Amino acid sequence: MNNPTFNLSRVNRVLLPILASSLLFGCNQSTSNPDNSTQGPVTPQQLVKVYYQATTAQRSGDSSPYSKASLYVWNNEQCAAYAGNNPDANDWAKGLLPTGVDDELGAYWELPYHANESTQCINFIPRIDGQKPLGDYDAKVDLTQLGADNAVYTQQGVAAVYPELIPRNALPANTARLYLNTQDGDESFFTLHVWNEGDCQNYAASNSAWPGIAPSGYSKTYGPYWDLPINGRDNCINVIPNNKTNGDYQTANLKLDFTKTGAIGPIGFVFKGTDKIYYQPLAKRPQNQVELSGASAIFADASTLLVGNLEVTSATLYYSRQGQLRFDSASKTVLNADHTITSQRPSGTEWQAQKPHLTSAFRGFEFDFQAAGLDLKTLLQGQLLLVASDATGVLLATEVQPASALDALYADSAVTLEYGALVNPDGSTTFRLWAPTAQAVSLIPYGADKQAKTPIAMGFDAQSGSWSAVNTALAHGDYYRYQVTVYHPATDQIETYQVTDPYSHSLAINSLYSQVVDLNHADLKPHGWDTLAAPHPQNERADFILYEAHVRDFSAHDTTVTSAHRGKFAAFSEQESQPVQHLKQLARSGVTHLHLLPVFDIATINEDPEQVVNLEQPFSRLCDLKPALKNDSDLAAYCTGNDTLQSVFTTLKARDSKEQPLVQRLNGFLRDVDSFNWGYDPFHYTVPEGSYATQPDGVTRIKEFREMVQAVKQEIGMNVVMDVVYNHTNEAGVSDKSVLDRIVPWYYQRLNEWSGQVENSTCCSNTAPENRMFAKLIDDSIRTWVKEYKIDAFRWDLMGHHPLAQIEQTLAAAKQINPDVYFYGEGWNFGEVANDRQFKQATQLNLAGTGIGSFSDRLRDAVRGGGPFDGEASLRANQGWGNGIYVQKNDLSNNTRAQALHLADLTRLGMAGNLKAFTFIDQTGNTIKGSELDYNGQAAGYANDAWEIQNYVSKHDNQTLWDIQQYKIDYALPLETRVRMQAVSLATAVLGQGVPFVHMGSELLRSKSMQRDSYDSGDWYNRVDFGKTSNNWNVGLPRQDKDGSNWSIIETVIAQAGANAEPQAADIATMNDYFNELVQLRRSSSLLTLGKGSEIIKRVHFHNTGSEQILGVIVMSIDNQGELYDASLDAARSGLVMVLNASPTPLTEFAHFDATDYQLHAIQADLGNRSIAYHGEAASVVNQRLSVPAWSVAVFEKRHP
């Protein structure tokens, strides 16, 4: 999954103790008769430099403005560190003359001061001929805020003192600046996420993509900084400084608030480790005042509290039942506490195994709640603050993260119970909700008219933390919600609101109400449902071919599908439609599984047909839903016509350009009010999506989902895979689409250990499957999909954000129902959990031997070239094995032979199942293991068995295979060659030993008009034509926020390639035939699906390797003769040889493989010139040697005697 819309937490907390002292600003008034008293001498004495820079000197280098410069200096009770004895210093008529003049920085004075004097500041006023060039402003030297060389700086016209001068002309007009003061690591690691949202709308550029933009420059004193274009200074900009590209640090969601900026202009300063923006120049974080900061007190269990400060020796926990706690920063005390408990007893180290990421920065304290007469379960139902101190006083005041305490107190009992609306045999319903921190929960029944009925009180079970209402009169089909009263840290108060059931099995339209449902009810089952079986056995996982589809893409605009069923579950039941006929052909060829992008309840698709508009509907309807469209100078005229959106898009694409990107502009109005979204925005995990049902209100979605599954298995002939997204929720906090976090705040979401903010590295509000009750919810949800919907396999979105132990536990739970259920997913390693920081993750390198599959980026990047985050010229320059690297260079390619050889090695290893123990000869001529081949600094080979690898060259993320190829292919190459390149690239996955994963439409040359990320880009860009008349190429520039920087190269590719990149119906049909041929070849012999790593290592060999290999050619043999002969694998063949020729040069009589008794595979021989093995001439065996045409794939077989 890429990153769709970046949804941000609503909680704005402080990260570490934010300490404020007397600042560099003085009072904004003159002191005409100051107190000139000086404290007694305090040693030792040191010197501080005070600079004054005049504007004219700044502009011209003229030093004459300093000829009449003087500095007035004095001590008083507030500032008494000046140690000079020159009487002119505090004589207003005289003052101190400059010590010297610096050509750049101006006049300066060296002032002696008492280093140990308590106030640590000096009063001063620069003067020019008796005038005050800083204005009516008494300046102060804060000796804790000195810059380099013990200096401070002032400049004409600015009432401020700087540790490092920021010249007035350094900041361009209409620009703000934010500094991040950090002393650790490489400052270039840091980025800034910037966006407009809510009240903050002053950012004048497009919202940054996470993690953000690189620094504009670097200050020795203030750290890296970002110059940000602004459209005014009337509100603010949202910012998050972070190093999420290379680390795990980020601030809370901060606001650069221009109503708070002062004399120095729109400039802010953040200190790493805080969540506060200062608006005066500071060299160091202020030191005297403690403020409430974040949530760096974390329960490790029911008695151990971890505190994010290693210096503290005492920790006091404060509790308020009604959420009335307030921390007074001046007195460093907590007000309005009902109870307190203090511990000075250090904990043991047992917690470190469960929370390894906290070991270096957190200290544990043991609390004896029982001895204090307190009940921790009661405390957790209110507001908690922790104040930590050392011998000098308070060092930290912070909120408390409760999740591990809740697990320790309740989970053993809670995991044994069932939750949700449980229909009893007598038709009554028992409701159970896990909400241990809630103070009250009621069940609110709703009638069919969605009007509330009399609330039903729910009882609390103190052992499990659950609330229940037993044997209620509510029955199958009735609607309900829970009313929950709970303290929520997002608002710092007790909240009472209604929320749907996280264990819902059915919902009202737009998920506004949960619905009681008996999933075993006869009305919800299609005929024959109970006896429905999968058409393919699941115990031979190496035989799988996974075909990734999206419910709406499949049929939304296919006229052979009944209008009411287009884009719906029901379309899969229309046996004579083009989309279904296409799937049937794929199934006959050998595709085994239909993988469905998210089909659970999706938060970002409006299910109400009256509130959406789609391509086939009138343009005027969009104008009604988006009134701003009526003011668009290019599009408004269509609002009064009779055109459909489809026809307007068709008209606009003819004149679409980067100067006038009309298609994507219109799509920008449409995309949040249409019916399209990939669906990676979970709302309720265990309910089918309502927009895919013909009636989204109620149980129709359940029966139609089952009818779809039945049709796919029984009529089409494929098993069914479901895409699941338990790694995040669409929202958190108290917002309307937050469910889990409103019921048990700060439990189901993963929180940052400093700020307490919900982590969002996934895209949205990260969940915490390491917590036991969320792991149980996942187990129960998966079991429901397996048992009640007969799902055969699950693809886990961002699986690397899950603990491996939890994934294995969930797999075991699913296998209790279907012993052959299969899991695979995205084992990417990133975010706050990266490198097993918090737990052993379900990442690529950790999955070996588990039988759980993961997507391999190794083969993907080798074949496509470059990586998924390439942009602009690099999209073209970085060619891959499948599009001509080094052998068919494009105009921008500068790839070396060594790079081409390395990509060939990665492709070979991928075709061998990406096994870590597989041995082969690499590009240098050395024999290495897969684990020794490099992939961007990691081991390329990581699997034990081939079914632990999903090999792919295209999926829903990133550009389609056709689109990425067009970026990279030589402009002069004809269309026929481009089609063959597509087939050769797909062959690396289909004919390799891993589990092939194929993006719907790859076999039809599918294009998304170069769109990199089409998650909510609508039907116009995402459509698939199963009628095979169009591949959707060049229907308009892709959306600006994702691809705007690529528009120039896209226009160049389209113009230069011209008709060479415009497939016609015959080209699409040819590619479809090639793909079916490849699938049939894979199905023809179990030698191509060995699966077990030990068998692959014994039987698979590569024959065009080493430094002198023929570039662009892979020759892969699979042995089944002599002692290796195994009739159960292939009784008819003694061996197979695959030759993939990804080069413009025919392979003629290849000398490094003895092809005696080999012949072209019968499937390809029967196809003749329609085969991908034929290109002007057929692949053949001549003189016991293999010959294969350019840009071809040939499989040779040796028949068993």
- List residues with catalytic annotation: 797, 826
- Surface-to-core class of residue 831, CB atoms within 10 Å of its CB (0-12 exposed, 13-18 middle, 19+ buried): buried
Q: How many residues are recorded in the chain? A: 1201
Helix H or strand E segment including 795: strand 793-796
User: 657-677 as b/e, with b when 16 or more CB fall inside 10 Å?
Assistant: eeeebbbbbbbbbbbbbbbbb
Q: CA 949 to CA 936: how far, in whole Å?
A: 18
Q: The tokens of 1091 are what?
A: 């699966």
Residues 6+ apart with CB under 8 A from 289: 19, 20, 21, 329, 330
Closest CA to 2 of 945, 1013, 1173, 1044: 1013
CA distances from 320 to 208, 384, 757, 1059 (A): 40, 7, 21, 72
Q: CA 850 to CA 947: how far, in whole Å?
A: 10
SS3 (DSSP) at 982 = helix
Q: The tokens of 995 are what?
A: 């589990």
Q: CA 1059 to CA 7: how far, in whole Å?
A: 41
- Residues 1091 and 946 sit within 8 Å (Cβ to Cβ): yes
The CA angle 295-301-307, to the nearest 5 degrees, is: 35
Closest CA to 1009 of 1027, 1023, 999, 998: 1023
Beta pairing, strands 853-855 & 822-825: parallel
Beta pairing, strands 719-724 & 593-596: parallel
Q: CA 894 to CA 873: how far, in whole Å?
A: 12
- Residues 1083 and 996 sit within 8 Å (Cβ to Cβ): no
Long-range contact set of residues 654-662: C-beta below 8 Å, sequence gap at least 24: 656/1036, 656/1037, 657/1037, 657/1051, 658/1037, 658/1047, 658/1048, 658/1051, 660/634, 661/1036, 661/1037, 661/1040, 661/1047, 662/634, 662/635, 662/1036
Backbone torsions φ then ψ of 808, nearest 5 degrees: -70, -35
CB atoms within 10 A of CB 1030: 18
Q: CA 851 to CA 845: how far, in whole Å?
A: 13
SS3 (DSSP) at 1105 = coil
